[in-house]
Structure 1
């Protein structure tokens, strides 16, 4: 068995954030385990660096893997240190994130075990979770009209459809309602979300997607429906139901994510993987606070995340 290193010198451009049901990536070679720290604390889990052969060159292509809820699923949704997670990934070179999440379905046509590539989010979190890097003496505003990356979504959709008929049923778009949790919805809430046009519901899309946008990282979530939310007459949502469907469809989830990584590791997608289309977008957004008004602490934190940006 190869020895696992505790450092990795080359930049890692793609990361997978695994949620409920996707806590490892089978078939990838584990090269290193990193235990970084950031000004926002430590991430949810150590970062696993995995090697994946590029279909273009055959050379090893590094992937970073982070377990959102901890190695043993010990972190509740409101306890996930999202700022540390995103800051850590950017610091090792990540510019593209594929995030996986279990979700409840708010629409009849999205059946349990279906996959959804969402394009919109409705925020129903309650301000408990820290949700920005720009605070405490440095203000920054970034656009969030389209919370997921459309170019990345196209590749994810293509990969999902290529697996159709092999147990994968894909919905090309949808609106994620991100609730606070950790309790599931009331029936009144569930019906309200349906009336708003919600497609699926989870507890993980935010602030993760917002922070990725602030960090100039292309971000796309892949959702897997594990249940009909409590609006449906099939019965109330239980942890047993969620985990049962996750376990039954885990192999499809791994194959789906693996197909996306295969495609992204091709040379033709280099500019997308490097997020060239959003590179530098925060320079102006974060420059709204005049230098005289920037606190020492805020400057140090932002300089850690964006070296040289606001000198």
Structure 2
């Protein structure tokens, strides 16, 4: 880990706006070409490890899912030296055995957002196509699962497909049943484009989903309501805080995953057609280009 830089970032979702037992050192303002991040990045020590913390919706939960500046958030974390991102999110369950109060470490993602969100750092030129078959870092997923088993705070599920909807409304019953018929497992509003941008930024990224409800398909639910979600979330957050205290000390070793070279051959645009103006983030990121492969 680079001295003085936070190798690990935790993105806090609904209900997780601060970290217990977190020794705050600074609130860092990071300027990005994509505007301001959701909040100042809080940098400090967790389990004696330097960590960055960013509340996805802002410290007062003032940003709706569509309004979250995802590109600015991921850019800012990359800019300060982060290599690993643990993304916490509240989700509804689409299956009976993933119960409210359980934790899920998803391994797949289905994007059902409506196109209002900017999902790439590569807007026009250069054209880049990131491999995204497996949207979550397998090494980081394994570490989260191991930490969860060691703490034993609550039931944790290995794997599941996260269905990301636009929101801010919850699903209709018809939508909920449709997603269940597709074999999707949990439903939320924030994993995309966050996971896609993390891949383009060559960050190890994994999610920890906190089940708060059964969406609206289950016979115990008339509908999903925000106040009900919040009460379950409060209990989930306690388990998540303890899991993070166990997880973070084990993430200081170098990873052997391929996330850090994800964009190595992703750019298809000829180098002659691309501006090399300093500060153009995608250009700096994707190191191998079509002309290199000729």
TM-score range, shorter chain: over 0.9
Whole-angstrom CA distance in 1 between matches of 2:171 and 2:203? 31
Whole-angstrom CA distance in 2 between matches of 1:231 and 1:83? 33
| TM-fit CA distance, 1:38 | 0.6
List gaps (5 residues or longer) in structure 2. Answer: 290-294
- Answering whether residue 24 of structure 2 is matched by residue 45 of structure 1, we say no
Match of 2:231 in 1: 244
Match of 2:162 in 1: 176
Q: Is the 8 A contact 2:139 2:257 kept in 1?
A: no
Match of 1:271 in 2: 254
Q: Is the 8 A contact 1:15 1:97 kept in 2?
A: yes
Q: Is the 8 A contact 1:32 1:49 kept in 2?
A: yes
Mapping 1:289-304, distance limit 5 Å: 289-295=269-275, 300-303=280-283
Whole-angstrom CA distance in 1 between matches of 2:97 and 2:287? 49
| TM-fit CA distance, 1:155 | 1.0
| TM-fit CA distance, 1:308 | 7.3
Whole-angstrom CA distance in 1 between matches of 2:159 and 2:281? 35
Q: Is the 8 A contact 1:135 1:298 kept in 2?
A: no
Corresponding pairs, count? 288
Match of 1:70 among 49, 53, 58: 58
List gaps (5 residues or longer) in structure 1. Answer: 1-8, 54-59
Q: Deviations over 1:94-145 (max 9, x none)?
A: 1100000000000000110100000001110111000001122211011100
- Answering whether residue 171 of structure 2 is matched by residue 185 of structure 1, we say yes
Q: Deviations over 1:34-58 (max 9, x none)?
A: 01111111111100001134xxxxx
Secondary structure class of the residue paired with 1:87: helix
Secondary structure class of the residue paired with 2:20: coil
- Structure 1 runs of 4+ off > 4 angstroms? 295-299, 307-310
Cα separation, partners in 2 of 1:136 and 1:48, compared to 1, 3 Å? same
Whole-angstrom CA distance in 1 between matches of 2:196 and 2:184? 19
- Answering whether residue 248 of structure 2 is matched by residue 280 of structure 1, we say no
Whole-angstrom CA distance in 2 between matches of 1:65 and 1:119? 23
Match of 2:202 in 1: 216
Match of 1:109 in 2: 97
Relative to structure 2, which stretch is displaced further, 254-263 or 16-25? 254-263
Whole-angstrom CA distance in 2 between matches of 1:206 and 1:307? 21
Secondary structure class of the residue paired with 1:260: helix
Match of 2:249 in 1: 262
- Answering whether residue 294 of structure 2 is matched by residue 306 of structure 1, we say no
TM-score between both structures, scaled by the size of structure 1: 0.87
Match of 1:19 among 13, 23, 35: 13
Match of 2:186 among 190, 194, 200: 200
Whole-angstrom CA distance in 2 between matches of 1:113 and 1:212? 27
Q: Is the 8 A contact 1:138 1:298 kept in 2?
A: no
Mapping 1:77-88, distance limit 5 Å: 77-88=65-76
TM-score between both structures, scaled by the size of structure 2: 0.92
Cα separation, partners in 2 of 1:301 and 1:162, compared to 1, 3 Å? closer
| TM-fit CA distance, 1:257 | 2.1
CA RMSD of aligned residues (A): 2.1
